[in-house]
């Protein structure tokens, strides 16, 4: 589905991403982890077209999309939700998602209609149900909790019907209970939609619970890649990121 080959990007002579190669199979649920400054967000920015790579390929179903514009990459089937939620604060949850559906389906001429088209309303309702925001449908986006604002950001990405969805630290800034509510929602969403889902996360209890595969970045390079069990016991990962305390706690 999504294959990265020898991807590199430098800023001022500093390599943020250095010859990264990794494969995300169709329908897989994968985590990207690593210490601060490891290049995780740069990696996402390269995939989504926010940055142009210095070299390397980004293959989506075999087609190289490296260097494509962000709108074109979205049209090709890659969506993203951000660490800081990007929402429409003056709209209700329902209206924000409905407007996004209308824009995505090219229904600009009907966006001002009092009664939206049935298929548009159905899609908006499905997405709200998928992320658990139906009870908040008539709440202004700005009045949502931090966690619900992030769910709305994910919903707006889902409207684009992505084949690959990138989540940049979906639980950032949340308390323990809210984090697990978020990650349970993400996992349920992935199970229902079976898209290829890739997420950046610092909470290792979450990563090791739901990820099928884990890629570890360090100083812009792939330090390790494998199953949660393989990563948990990888000596270089323990030394560079997880620490001896993590190994002892999970021995």
**What is the tens place of the pLDDT at every residue in 171-184?**
998 988 899 999 99
Burial class of 212 by CB neighbour count within 10 A (0 to 12, 13 to 18, 19+): middle
Of 188, 219, 213, nearest in space to 199 by CA:
213
Query: Do 195 and 25 touch, CB atoms closer than 8 A?
Result: no
- CA 76 to CA 88: how far, in whole Å? 24
pTM confidence score: 0.89
Domains for the chain: give ranges and CATH numbers: 2-86+163-249 (3.40.50.300), 88-143 (no CATH)
- CA 150 to CA 169: how far, in whole Å? 10
The C-alpha angle 172, 177, 181, rounded to 5 degrees, equals 75
Cβ count within 10 A of residue 238:
16
> Which tokens belong to 59?
């293959």
> 3-class DSSP state for residue 37?
coil
> Which residues lie across from 30 on neighbouring strands?
198, 213
- CA 97 to CA 123: how far, in whole Å? 9
pLDDT value, residue 107: 59
> 3-class DSSP state for residue 145?
coil
| CA distance readout (Å), 150 to 66, 86, 183 | 28, 8, 11
- CA 68 to CA 49: how far, in whole Å? 6
What b/e string do you get for 112-127 counting C-beta neighbours within 10 Å, with b at 16 or more? eeeebeeebeebbbeb
Of 193, 198, 189, nearest in space to 79 by CA:
198
Regions of the chain where pLDDT drops below 50 = 109-112, 115, 245, 248-249
The C-alpha angle 166, 91, 162, rounded to 5 degrees, equals 25
Of 42, 62, 64, 80, nearest in space to 195 by CA:
80
């Amino acid at each position: 589905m999504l294959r990265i080959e020898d991807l590199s990007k430098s800023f001022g002579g500093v390599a943020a991403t250095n010859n990264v190669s990794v494969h995300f199979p169709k329908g897989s649920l994968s985590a990207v982890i690593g210490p601060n400054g490891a290049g995780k967000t740069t990696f996402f920015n390269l995939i989504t077209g926010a940055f142009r790579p210095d070299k390397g390929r980004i293959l989506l179903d075999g087609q190289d999309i490296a260097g494509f514009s962000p709108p074109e990459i979205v049209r090709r089937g890659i969506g993203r939700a951000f660490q800081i939620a990007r929402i429409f604060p003056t709209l209700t949850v329902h209206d924000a998602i409905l407007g996004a559906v209308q824009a995505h389906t090219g229904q600009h001429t009907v966006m001002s209609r009092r009664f939206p088209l049935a298929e548009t309303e159905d899609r908006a309702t499905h997405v709200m149900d998928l992320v658990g925001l139906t009870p908040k449908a008539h709440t202004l986006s700005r009045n949502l909790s931090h966690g619900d604002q992030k769910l709305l950001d994910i919903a707006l990405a889902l409207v684009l019907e992505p084949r690959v969805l990138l989540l940049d630290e979906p639980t950032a800034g949340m308390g323990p209970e809210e984090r697990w509510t978020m990650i349970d929602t993400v996992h349920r969403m992935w199970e229902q939609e079976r898209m290829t889902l890739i997420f950046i996360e610092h909470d290792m209890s979450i990563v090791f619970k739901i990820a099928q595969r884990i890629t570890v970045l360090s100083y812009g390079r792939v330090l390790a890649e494998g199953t949660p069990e393989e990563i948990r016991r990888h000596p270089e990962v323990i030394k560079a990121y997880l620490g001896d305390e993590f190994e002892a706690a999970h021995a």
